[in-house]
Amino acid sequence: MTKRAERAGAGVADGRVWRRGRVLAGTAVFAGLLLLFHGVVPNRVGRLGSLLESFLPWLGVPVVVLLVLALVRRSPLALVALLLPAAAWTYLFGGLLLPAPEPGDDDLVVVQHNVSDENPDPEGTARALVRAEPDLIALEELVSPALEVYAETLAPDYPYRTVRGTVGLWSKHPLDGTGPLDIAPQGIGEGWERGLRAVAHTPRGDIAVHVAHLPSVRVRASGLASSWRDESAGLLGDALGAEEQSRVVLLGDLNGTVDDRALAPLTSRLDVAERGLALSFPAGFPVARIDQVMARGATVESVRTLSATGSDHLPVAARVTWD
């Protein structure tokens, strides 16, 4: 065989190698585009955009699967294409995986927990939260007689508290300016009270604390049912926009992730955690963080989950700093 023929044969072989795995490469590019441009996925039909954004970090899983398949297929085309979703995922979520800064003595430690109205061990749940030594504890789904158990168990360490409907705030520091937040969507029924506001007088200064429990969402065959949650988020955003305190922290079960565009009335006004994924729901196999800590005039340095309690949510603890 002549050298020219050998070179021609090698060229044909190289061409075949680069054509191998075209479906994998196309899938990888599609995953990367979804990560980068999830905002263009329409929400009019079944709120598909919000549904995608609720589980956006999990797009990293198919990327790993595609990597394995690309290696098995020995497809350089697919491996090159995988650089797009890998880079997109790292850009969006990689920072959350970095180590949290060293805690400072002046950090404000807060805990957010939906304790569940079916919690069989409210006393044990309260003691578990106290062990994290937070300055503030926000609780949702408070119902009698469990409410009285939480109040009694937390009182020695948290003498200041306010409860509105089924949400409550316990504090080591004095509270005033307490009152309800009107975040009830139209048509949800009377007696629905799941928001409060207070000012905590901490050693570092005053901070307005908003506690909220937005309406639940449901995933159905038709898509995401979230109209009440979305309306309530808008009302909460209005309350935050009207807040006169320069420093604000929002604690709550928002039934949505920070990537979900439906929470834009909140995420456009407040900063979210810089470190930590802290997936909080469901407790048995957490797939999303719907329990949130956000702040204005302050920084949520890190967020983490605590050990499981008797709730179907995991508690979330965060460190908040300000200059």
Query: Distance of CA 313 to CAs 5, 73, 108, 121, 240, Å?
Result: 67, 41, 22, 14, 25
pLDDT score, position 23: 94
SS3 181: coil
In sequence order, the β-bridge partners of residue 109 are 319
Give the pTM.
0.91
pLDDT score, position 219: 83
* Residue among 52, 54, 48 at smallest CA distance from 31: 52
Task: Report the Cα 195 to chain-centroid distance in Å.
Answer: 18
pLDDT score, position 3: 55
What residues have CB less than 8 Å from 194, skipping those under 6 apart?
140, 165, 166, 167, 183, 184, 212, 213, 214
pLDDT score, position 46: 87
- Tell me if 25 sits within 8 A of 69, measured CB to CB: no
Gap between the Cα atoms of 245 and 28, Å rounded? 46
Q: Cα 158–116–56 angle (5° rounding)?
A: 105
Gap between the Cα atoms of 227 and 224, Å rounded? 9
SS3 322: coil
The token duo for 311 is 């709730």
**Beta-carbon count within 10 A of 51 CB:** 17
pLDDT score, position 100: 87
Give me the residues of the chain with pLDDT under 70, please.
1-18
Task: Report the Cα 219 to chain-centroid distance in Å.
Answer: 17
Gap between the Cα atoms of 194 and 311, Å rounded? 18
Amino acid type, 193: E
